[in-house]
Chains A and B, each alone.
Chain A
Amino acid sequence: MVTFEVPEVDYTRYTNRQLAAVPVAVLVVALLVIAGWYVATGAPVTPGLDFTGGTELRIAVDAPSDQAAREQIRAAFSEEPESIRSVPSDGTYVVTFKASDVGAAQLERQAEDAGFDIRSIDSVSASFGAETQRLALGGVALAFVGMSVLVFLLFRTFVPSIAVVLSAFSDIVIPVAMMNLLGIELSLGTVAALLMLIGYSVDSDILLNNHILRRSGDFYESTYRAMRTGVTMTLTSLAAMIVMTITATVFGIQLLSAIGTILVFGLAADLMNTYMLNLSLLRWYKYEGVAR
C-alpha cells in the first residue's frame, strides 16, 4: 500500500528571521492587495449579489450552442446582464443583474416570454444587502475577537497566543486577497468559509503550541510530532475541499463551491503560517523570550 510520511524539516538550518520572512512578506503583499482594492473600489473585496442587491436567475435555455444561448439571453432581457455563467452539469445558465429599477418580477416575465425554463430566481434589495454586509463583517470580526480571547485564555502567555492569533489573521487575509486577484465576489458562502477558517486554522496552531509548550522533550522533536499530526489534518481537509470545490462547481452549487474555494486558499496559507510564522515565534519565545 502506498503510504506517505510527513517529511521532517530541518529547522535548525534556518534562523527565525528567515523563517518568518516568507509568511510576513506574503501577509504584507496580501494586505497591500486589499488596501489597493479598497482605494480603487471603495471596498476591501468586491461584494456580490447577497450584499449589493440585485437579481439572479438560473434558466434552462434551448439553444444549439453556448454562443447562441448567450445571445438569446442578452436579447431576452431589457437590461444588460451583469454576468452570464453556464453550469456544465445540466446546461443551465446563471444570469445576474445589478439592483436597478427593473425588478425581479419584470425579469421573470421577460424570461418567461423568451421561453426560458426558470429554475430559480433570487432577488435581494440593495438596502437589505447593505444590512447583510454589515452583519456579515460584524460576525467575522466578532468571531475573530472571540477566538483571540479564547486563545489567550488557553495559553495565558503573550508570545504563543499572539503567534496563534497572528497566523489565524493571516489565514483569513490571504484568501481575501486571493478573492480580489481571482475576481471572486464576497457572498454569504465566502463569509461562512472565512468563519470556518477561523475554526480550522487555529486547530493546527493550538496543536503545535501544545506540543512545544506543554510537553516534555526537545523543541525539534515536539515540533516534528506536532507537524506529523497537523500536516495530516490540514492535508485531509485540503483534499476534501479541493474535490468539493470541483464537484460543486460542475454541479453549479454556488454556496458549496464558494466555501470550498476559500477554504482551499485558507488551508494552504495555514500550512505556511503555522509551520513558518507561528513556529519561528515559538522558537524565539522558547530560546530567547523566556530567558528575558
Chain B
Amino acid sequence: MGALRDNWRVLLLVVFVLASTFALLSPTVAPDEGPGSPGAASEGATNLKFGLDLSGGTRIRAPLVGVTAEEVQFGGDSPGQVERNVAAQLRGADVTDVTARQTSQSGGTVEVTADNVTQSDLATALDAAGYGHGEVRDGVTAQTREETVRILEDKINQAGLSGGTVQEVTTASGEHFILIEVPGEDRSEVLDLVQSRGTVRVDVYYPVERNGSTEYQRDRAVLERDDFQTIGAAQQGGNGQPPHVPVVLTQETAPEFQQKMVDTGVAQRGGSTCTYEENRQTTGPCLLVVVDDRVVGSFGMHPSLASSMRSGDWASDPSFVLQTQNFSEAQELSINLNAGALPAKLDLGPDGEGTSSYISPTQGESFKTDSVITGLIAVFAVSGVVFVRYGEAKVALPMIVTALSEVVILLGFAAGIGYPIDLAVVAGFIAVIGTGVDDLIIIADEVMAEGQVRSRRVFRSRFRKAFWVIGAAAATTIIAMSPLAVLSLGDLQGFAIFTILGVIVGVLVTRPAYGDILRSLLTDDR
C-alpha cells in the first residue's frame, strides 16, 4: 500500500495516459458523424478528427452584406407595411431585401440586405418614408445571422456535403462572421451553394387580349416558399416527364392558387401548353419557377389536372409538381425550397470582406504525414540534446517518455471532445514538448544538484523549490497565450488552446510524476 501512496503521481499519469489511449483508439468514443457521412475516410485508425488543412476541404469566412437601422419608430405600421414603404424609397432594393423586425411596442429594426445600399441610403429612405430612427450601422441583426446559419446548414446537409459545419464567429472588435467549413469539397462548389440567396418563387405568364391584340402579362410570386406544406426530393422524371420537385400546397393557399390558375387560363379546358423557352410571344399560359430572378423551369398544365382545378376538387388534395429544365436544377430547387432563402448574402466578391481557403485532400494528406515527421524529428532533436547533456539514460529516458505522454494526453483530449487537429494544433504540440522538456530539465537539475540525493526529505524540498520556477514559467506561458485563445484569430486558436492545455496538464500531472520517477531511480530508501 505504501508504494501505492508514494507513487500516486505516477499512477495518476498512467491513468491519464490510459484514458487518453482509450479515447484515441476505442470505437465507442468515436465522435458522432453526420448521417451517411463518408468522412470516415480521413479518420484512419484513431478517433482523431482532422481540421481542413490536414484533411482537405473548403473554409469560407465572411460577414453578411447588409445595413441596419436601430430604433426605428414604426408609427403604428405593421412590419410588412414598413418593409414595403422603405423598399419603395430605395433604389436597387426589393421588398424581399428589406426586413423589419418589431422589437418593442413602438418600433424595431429595419435591415436592408441588398448589395450597394449604404448606410446613408437607408437613412435617407427611412426619412423619406417618414420613420424616425436611431443609429444606422453596417451589418445585420443577430436574428438574421442565426437564421442565415440555420439555412446554410440546411443547404449544406441537403446538398449531401457531409460533415460540413456553419457557425457564427465574433471577433474581439465585435465584427460578426459566418464560418463555413466543408471537408473534402471543392471551393467553387461550396461557393456556388452558399453564395446564392436561393429565393424561390412561381410566376404566371399568360396572354391577355387588350384592344384586339395579344399581350403577355406576368404575375409575380403566385407561390412562394411559405405556400408549400411539404416539399419532396428532386425526381429524375422519365417517360416524357421532365425532372421535377413534388410539392403539396397549404390548405390556405390552395383555393387561391386554384382560382388564379383558372383565371389566368393555365387551367383552361384541355390544359395548357407552355413554349416559354422557345418563343415567349406565342406560348400558351405558363407557370415559371424562378430562383434568384432566374427562370429554371416553365411548364403548362395537364388536361386532367386542369379539369380537377376547374371543378374545384384539386384544392382538397393540393399536390403539385414544379418542373425544371434539368435534374441538377431540380436538386437545387429542392434544396432552396427546403432550406429557404438566405436572409442576407455572404460578402464574398473580390472586394468583399470574406476569406476563403481550399486544400485538396492530397495536399492535406501529405501535410498530415509531413507534420508528423516534422514533430518526430523535433522530438529526436530534443532527445539527442538531453542524452548528450546528462549522459545517463535513467535521467534522460524518463524525461522523453514523460514529455511524449503529455502529447498522448492532449491527443486523447482532442479525440475525446472531437476537436479537429490542424497544423496550428500540431505546432501547439511541438511547443508543449518544448516547454515540457524545459521543465523536466529544471526538475532534474534541481534534484540532482550537489551530489547524491540520498534521503526522501532532501528530495522533497529540492523538488518543491524546482516547482516554484515551473509554476511561474507555466503561468507566464498561459498568460502569453490566452489572448490568442480568446480572441478569435481563427487559425491560431487551436495553437493557443493546446499550448495552454499542455502547460496545465504538464504542471498538474506529468511533471510531478517525473519527479516521482526520478526519486525512485535516485534515492536509496524506498
Contact = CB atoms under 8 A, between A and B. Distances in A.
Given A200-B435, A253-B371, A206 B473 contact: yes
Chain A CB within 10 Å, residue with most, of B187, B370, B479: B479
A62 interface: no
Given A120-B358, A138-B172, A233 B441 contact: yes
Given A206-B476, A243-B378, A192 B430 contact: no
A244 B374 CA distance: 6
Contacts of B476: 147, 150-151, 198-199, 202-203, 206
B438 A120 contact: no
Interface of A: 1-4, 58, 89-90, 100-106, 108, 117-125, 127-128, 131-132, 134-136, 138-140, 142-144, 146-147, 150-151, 154, 188-189, 191-192, 195-196, 198-200, 202-203, 206-207, 210, 214-215, 225, 228-229, 232-233, 235-237, 239-244, 247-248, 251, 253, 255-256, 259
A143 B479 contact: yes
A135 B489 contact: yes
A248 B355 CA distance: 25
Given A4-B388, A239-B382, 20 more contacts: A2-B388, A58-B363, A120-B358, A125-B354, A128-B354, A132-B489, A146-B480, A154-B472, A195-B484, A199-B473, A203-B435, A232-B389, A233-B441, A235-B385, A240-B433, A242-B381, A253-B367, A256-B371, A256-B423, A259-B427
B413 interface: no
A143 B483 contact: yes
B466 to A, nearest CB: 9
Contact of B479 (A4, A147, A189, A206): A147
B388 A3 contact: yes
B284 to A, nearest CB: 40
B515 to A, nearest CB: 15
Contacts of B492: 188, 191-192
A255 B422 CA distance: 11
Chain A CB within 10 Å, residue with most, of B61, B362, B482, B495: B495
Given A58-B363, A121-B356, A255-B423, A131 B175 contact: yes
Interface of B: 61, 171-173, 175, 187-188, 191, 349-360, 362-363, 366-367, 370-371, 373-374, 377-382, 384-391, 423-424, 426-427, 430-431, 433-435, 437-438, 441-442, 445-446, 449, 465, 468-469, 472-473, 475-477, 479-484, 487, 489, 491-492, 495-496, 499
Contacts of B445: 225, 228-229, 232
A125 B356 CA distance: 9
A198 B380 CA distance: 25
Nearest to B486: A139
A215 B462 CA distance: 11
Does more than half of chain B's interface fall in helix, strand or loop, or is it mixed? helix
A192 B353 CA distance: 23
A140 B489 CA distance: 12
B355 A206 contact: no
Given A123-B355, A150-B475, A210 B468 contact: yes
Given A90-B366, A119-B363, A135 B172 contact: yes
B294 to A, nearest CB: 19
A203 to B, nearest CB: 4
Contacts of B353: 125, 127-128
Contacts of A198: 476, 480
19 contacts: A104-B356, A122-B357, A143-B484, A154-B472, A188-B492, A195-B481, A196-B481, A199-B473, A202-B473, A206-B476, A233-B442, A237-B437, A240-B382, A247-B377, A248-B374, A251-B367, A251-B374, A255-B424, A256-B427
B426 A256 contact: yes
A195 B489 CA distance: 13
A206 B469 contact: yes
A268 to B, nearest CB: 15
Nearest to B390: A3
Nearest to A140: B483
B354 A192 contact: no
A140 B434 CA distance: 20
A166 B482 CA distance: 21
Contacts of A119: 359-360, 362-363
Nearest to B369: A251
Contact of B381 (A118, A225, A240): A240
A83 B430 CA distance: 29
